[in-house]
Amino acid sequence: MPVSVMVVDDSNLARLVMTLILGRDQSIEVCAAVSDGEAALSLIPKCKPDVITMDLNMPGLSGIEVTRRIMATNPVPIVIVTTDKTSTANPFQFLEAGAIAVLCSPAPPGHPEHDQTSEQLIRTVKALSSVKMFPRRDRGRSPALSTACTIGSSTLSSVECIAIGASTGGPQIIKKIIESLPADYPIPILVTQHIAQGFTASFVKWLNASGKITAVLASDGLKMEPGHVYVAPDDKHLGVTSLSTIALSDHGRYRMRPSISHMFHSLASVYGKRCAAILLTGMGKDGAAEMADLKKRGAFTIAQDKDSSLIHSMPGEAIACDGASEILAPDKIVERLLAIAATKAKRSPC
C-alpha cells in the first residue's frame, strides 16, 4: 500500500508543487490537497491519510488550532512545511500542539537545491508514515525505563561537558530535558539537532520560552559556561577546544552539517571520559559510531529507548554497536542529568 498524504496549503502553486514532488515517488499517493484547516478536518475521516503536510500560516482556523484538533480526534503525523522563517508564529509551537517536524518548502524546479529539498520532504514523509500516533489527551504518561546499567558516582562526578544529538522528533525531547534542569545547572550542554536551515534561531527562542537555563546559538570562540545550552548553527559543525570554548567548522567529512558525529568526536578528543553523550530519536545513524568510541574511552553515554523514540534509527544504531552505557526514556535521562549535578555538588567544597 502506498503512503497516503494530505497536503494542506492556502497557495494553489504550493499545493501543485508539493503534489508533483510527492507523486514522483511510487510509494507515495496524495489523497487530498486542500487550502485550509476546515477542509482538512472534514476530509481526514474519509481520506485517512498516513501523513499530513501543513503550511505555517493559513486563512480561517490557525494551523496550531487545526493541529490540536487533529491530534485530539484523528491523530496523524503532521509535518509543518513552510517558506516563512520570520513569522511571529514560532513554527516550534506546532510541535507543542502535536506536530512532529518542521521543514522548509521544497525549492522550485530549476533551483540548485530543488533535488535536495525534495528528497528531504519525501524521506521525512516516508519515515513518519510508520509512526504510531495516539490522541493528544493520552500523551501525558511517561514511558518506563527500558534497560540500564549501574553507573558509579565517580563516573557522574567527572562529567565536565554534556552533548545531546537528535534528529526527527528531537526538539520536543530536548525541550523537555531543558525545562527540567535548574538555572544553576553546573555543566555546559552542547546540542546538535538536525533541522531545516533558517529555523535554528526559532528553535533557540522556543527552548528559552519556558526553560530556566539559557539556550544560545553557538558562535566560534564563545566561552562555555555552566547553566547554558549551546545549539549548533545552520550549516556548521559544533565542537569544543581544550580552553572550553566553542569551535565551529564547515568541513565536509560528514554527510550531515551540523553533524552529531563531529560533535561527539570533538568531545572524545578534548574531554575523553570526562563527558556525557546523549543520542535521541532520529533517522539515520549520525553519531552512533562516535558515541561507541566515547563509551570505550570511559565516557557516560545514553541512547533513548525505543518505546519513547519517534524514530529509533539513530539511538538504535548506537545500541547495536554497544555505544550506550544506558538506554533510557526522556524522564530517566533527566534523572541522570540531575544526578550528575548532585554528585558534583557533593564534591564541591563547603
pLDDT per residue as tens digits for the range 253-298: 888 999 999 999 999 999 999 999 999 999 999 999 999 999 999 9
Q: Kindly give the residue spans of alpha helices, DSSP state H, lying in 209-287.
A: 260-270
Higher-scoring residue by pLDDT: 202, 61:
202
Judged by DSSP in three states, 222 sits in coil
**Residue 31 forms part of a structural domain:** yes
Q: Do 11 and 82 share a structural domain?
A: yes
* pLDDT at 68 (0 to 100): 92
Average pLDDT of 66-95? 84
Question: How is residue 240 annotated by DSSP?
Answer: E
Distance CA 250, CA 298 (A): 28
Tally Cβ neighbours within 10 Å of residue 160: 18
* Model pTM score: 0.90
Is residue 70 domain-shared with residue 161, that is, in the same domain? no
| Residue 89 confidence class, pLDDT cut points 50, 70, 90 | low
Q: Which residues of 133-147 are buried (b: 16+ CB within 10 A; e: fewer)?
A: beebeeeeeebeebe
Q: Say whether both 46 and 188 belong to one domain.
A: no
Grid coordinates standing for 35? 487550502
Average pLDDT, the chain: 90
Q: Judge whether 147 lies within some domain.
A: no
For residue 134, pLDDT over 80 is answered with no
Statement to judge: residues 24 and 105 lie in one domain: yes
Residues carrying an active site annotation: 167, 194, 286
Instruction: Report the domain count for the chain.
Output: 2
* 145 lies in some domain: no
Query: Is residue 75 in a domain?
Result: yes
Residue 154 predicted with pLDDT over 80:
no
Q: What pLDDT is attached to residue 172? A: 94
Beta strands, E only, 14-154: 28-34, 51-54, 78-82, 101-104
Specify the pairing of strand 237-240 against strand 246-249: antiparallel
pLDDT attached to residue 138: 41
Q: Which tens digits make up the pLDDT trace of 322-343?
A: 999 999 999 999 999 999 999 8
* Higher pLDDT pick, 151 / 308: 308
Residues 165, 253, single domain; the answer is yes
In this structure, are 130 and 163 located in the same domain? no
Domain extent for 64: 3-137
Residue at 144 is within a domain? no
Q: If you average pLDDT over residues 158-162, what whole number do you get?
A: 95
Indicate if the pLDDT at residue 147 is higher than 50: no
For residue 144, pLDDT beyond 80: no
List the CATH number of the domain containing 42: 3.40.50.2300
Low-confidence winner among 173-182, 196-205, 298-307 (lowest mean pLDDT): 196-205
Same domain, yes or no, for 113 and 186? no
Question: Do both 306 and 207 map to the same domain?
Answer: yes
Side-chain-side CA neighbours of residue 111 (13 Å): 11
Residue 292: how many other CB atoms lie within 10 Å = 21
Residue type, 107: A
When pLDDT is cut at 50, 70 and 90, the band that residue 86 belongs to is low
Q: Helices H, strands E: what count in the chain?
A: 12, 14
Work out the percent of the chain whose per-residue pLDDT is above 90: 73
